[in-house]
């Protein structure tokens, strides 16, 4: 998506070898106009799939996910993160290991908000190692819901998440694909 690539070039900052800081429009300060456009793009890409629900993980997935859900006219659910977990019969849970932070979080969705047979679209801000998406996949499976695909705002093609999701047969659509960071500059794929 041209608009997003331009915004990344303009406002993104490369940190080290593998991190893109986008706290100016996505991860801290949020640009609602841009989020609405990203949401619309996701909706167009997945509209034919007859989505019943959009699922993301707090916090940074929420903004693009809610705009996708608005455009698709369905509810958006965000999995909550917890460090420690009291297992409850009322929740679906999955472990998500963060390579960036070297810690495991649990993500949790109340069983009331994900039902058997629902067609679910996953949304997330970044696809890096794919752990967040994999955790959401586990929750969708536990709910006997149907995963129709994953919409990603920024994919880093050089990390292992995309391959993981491709192997699992997931329909992935990324609005910006970053092939590498070179001398502090973003190199887009294709």
Whole-angstrom Cα distance, residue 82 to residue 105? 6
Return the range that interacts with ligand G4P (CB under 6 A); candidates 57-65, 72-80, 85-93, 136-144: 57-65
Strand (E) or helix (H) holding 43: helix 32-46
Residue from 60, 91, 93, 174 that binds ligand G4P (CB under 6 A)? 60
Q: Give min distance, CB of 165 to Na ion, in A.
A: 15
Closest-CA residue to 151 (of 168, 126, 179, 185): 126
Integer Rg of the chain from CA: 16
Q: Which does 39 bind (CB under 5 to 8 A by kind): ligand G4P, Na ion, none?
A: none
User: Residue 123 or 147: which CB sits closer to Na ion?
Assistant: 123
* 27 lines the binding site for ligand G4P (CB under 6 A): yes
Residues that bind Na ion (CB under 5 A): 60, 125
Question: Residue 95's beta-bridge partner residues?
Answer: 106
User: Residue 71 or 125: which CB sits closer to ligand G4P?
Assistant: 125
Q: Give min distance, CB of 75 to ligand G4P, in A.
A: 20
Instruction: Count other Cβ atoms within 10 Å, centred on residue 12.
Output: 22
Strands 172-182, 185-188: parallel, antiparallel or unpaired by DSSP? antiparallel
User: Residue 100 or 115: which CB sits closer to ligand G4P?
Assistant: 100
* 130 lines the binding site for ligand G4P (CB under 6 A): yes
Torsion of CA 52, 56, 58, 64, to 10 degrees: -90
Q: Give min distance, CB of 121 to ligand G4P, in A.
A: 17
Q: Which residues are annotated as a binding site?
A: 20, 27, 128-132, 156
């Amino acid at each position: 998506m041209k608009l997003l690539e331009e915004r990344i070039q303009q406002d993104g900052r490369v940190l080290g070898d593998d991190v893109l800081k986008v706290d100016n429009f996505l991860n801290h300060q949020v640009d609602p106009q841009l989020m609405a456009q990203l949401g619309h793009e996701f909706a167009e890409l997945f509209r034919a799939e007859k989505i019943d629900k959009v699922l993301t993980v707090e916090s940074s997935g929420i903004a693009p996910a809610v705009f996708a859900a608005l455009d698709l006219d369905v509810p958006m659910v965000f999995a909550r993160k917890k460090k420690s977990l009291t297992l409850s019969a009322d929740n679906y849970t999955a472990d998500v290991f963060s390579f960036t932070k070297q810690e495991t979080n649990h993500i949790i969705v109340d069983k009331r908000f994900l039902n058997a047979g629902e067609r679910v679209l996953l949304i997330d801000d970044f696809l890096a190692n794919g752990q967040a998406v994999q955790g959401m996949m586990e929750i969708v499976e536990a709910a006997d819901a149907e995963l129709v695909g994953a919409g990603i705002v920024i994919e880093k093609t050089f990390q292992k998440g995309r391959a993981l999701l491709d192997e699992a047969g997931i329909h992935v659509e990324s609005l910006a694909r970053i092939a590498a960071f070179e001398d502090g500059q973003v190199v887009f794929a294709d």
